[in-house]
Structure 1
């Protein structure tokens, strides 16, 4: 919803937002999570003109309804989760007694299905002209299953070439190791041993923003004629491992999923097998194989 706010109203700070950021940081939430939650709360304020500190359930439901056409179900669910965290903070810090989210409820999210890029698309992407660092980003997603925010934070110190491991700081600040594919070992030998692999432009000691990594990979994929997202490279990683008959518990560890339920969404029958199954259907089956249901004459 676009509301008409005066310049003064647009400049008006969102009350308690700095404290909300501090509260989350003290709980050692990831910087990505903190920044996104703060951004969404500020977005609510700007779009509605309502201070989130005093927002009612109706204010929140109206905001969600106004974005019914341009937000996906999963986006709406994530934003509702951010609002829940906000009002939990307000109650915990005695800034508010009630919690309007109890009246809002939880958006229904349809069952997710993995959308990996195809094997052909992987070849098309890798054959596309690109910078060496962009190729490295793509290979980290394809061969280590890294998310974009994990790619952005990769540093030379994260690699243990003797053990053949990459240490990844993922969701919830949890650090886990991923065995290195031989191609990644070769890449690591040529990359810096210390410091960020993908530094922010003009700030060599700082890492790129995850959004920038996503944009760089996305632009390369589009040049290759592949209409997909960077995260779908991670989907290829999981579905290919399972298609290669790797045990699901092993894939869970490699994907660094907390619950095996998260891994199970990748066990859906691959599209190629479903297509092959459809291709076996034959409306002239009774004629071609009379032994199946007894011989029958072909009717013209």
Structure 2
């Protein structure tokens, strides 16, 4: 960052002092030479630090050793709320700017430019928790019906989408399946326990090569059987032979892009927008929890390493329960007169 560039980008006429410019220049050189940050990251840091210098100039702070924790906190507030010269920043952008500022102060203390680090206790804003997007069962049924048909590719498409929703599989897991990964586990015949029926399962290879077995429901199994008997042999005839479960028109393994195209076409025919393979995975988890499934069972079915990852789906379910409760219970809609909602 040159002095000229910093002055040209200062809309308030509050030119940063030489000490500030020297500290920022040294920090950026450190990031470039010693840390080897990518060019795009360095560009973002330069922009964030230029705004920080503007802010310090407005507050009459000529050097980093004059900056206090309150100043850094106020800078974060300005980032989120915006001002006459800047629009408000979202959590991710504001967080990146705070990381740049904290790094600058940490560098300055380590290099002996300042005796203290006022930004040490200032944390980047937590990114908003994005709730998974799920669609209603009616929309799922419309989507699956839109993928129906009697020709080989239509049978494949229906089987693929039924499997994605019926098992909660990632799209990469689904297209990575081989025929032998879909199997039947024999139930117990007799003895001390009650007889258990056979169960259809699919073996997925998830992240890190971790395998898991997931039951296949009646609808997905029916669609898979129709595809394996009536469609896959036709598609395989044009290829060189592959163990892949889902085949493209040339007889090779269906790609992630091809599976995306299958879903996109079915969604368009069903009149649905903003539907992705992950939407089916989210819907699988949400509908299970809505039906009373234990969160740890859903964790195993999804292949999550930690139940914390799965628990985000419970927020969707709680929101739905809250809506139903507020709309249905006669004493849920409002607080009685004279009562306080808080103790």
TM-score bin, normalised by smaller chain: 0.5 to 0.7
Gapped regions of structure 1 (runs ≥ 5): 1-53, 67-71, 78-105, 287-291, 295-300
After superposition, residues 196-235 of structure 1 pair within 5 angstroms as 196-202=244-250, 204=251, 206-227=252-273, 228-235=275-282
**Number of the residue aligned with 2:32:** none
SS at match of 1:161: strand
Rounded to whole Å, the distance in 2 between the matches of 1:189 and 1:183 is 10
Q: Structure 1 residues 281, 129: CA separation in 2 closer, same or farther (over 3 Å shift)? A: same
Number of positions where the alignment pairs a residue of Structure 1 with one of Structure 2: 201
**Alignment partner, residue 144 of structure 1:** 167
Conserved? CA contact 2:159–2:224, under 8 Å: no
Could you tell which deviates more after superposition, 257-266 or 177-186?
Answer: 177-186
Deviation of 1:243 (Å): 0.9
Alignment of 1:1-300 (within 5 A): 56=37, 59-62=40-43, 109-130=127-148, 131-163=154-186, 164-190=200-226, 191=228, 195-202=243-250, 204=251, 206-227=252-273, 228-270=275-317, 272-280=320-328
In 1, the alpha carbon distance for the partners of 2:144 and 2:159 equals: 10
8 Å contact kept, 2:131–2:316: no
- Separation in structure 1 between the aligned mates of residue 286 and residue 244 of structure 2, nearest angstrom: 29
Larger radius of gyration: 2
Instruction: Give the structure 2 partner of residue 32 of structure 1.
Output: none
Q: Residue 25 of structure 1 aligns with which residue?
A: none
Equivalent residues of 2:247, 2:254 under 8 A apart: yes
d(CA) in 1 for partners of 2:46 and 2:136? Answer: 35
Q: 1:109/1:200 Cα in 2 relative to 1: closer, same or farther (>3 Å)? A: farther
RMSD, matched Cα: 3.8
Offset, 1:172: 1.0
Is contact 1:116–1:239 with CA below 8 Å preserved after alignment? yes
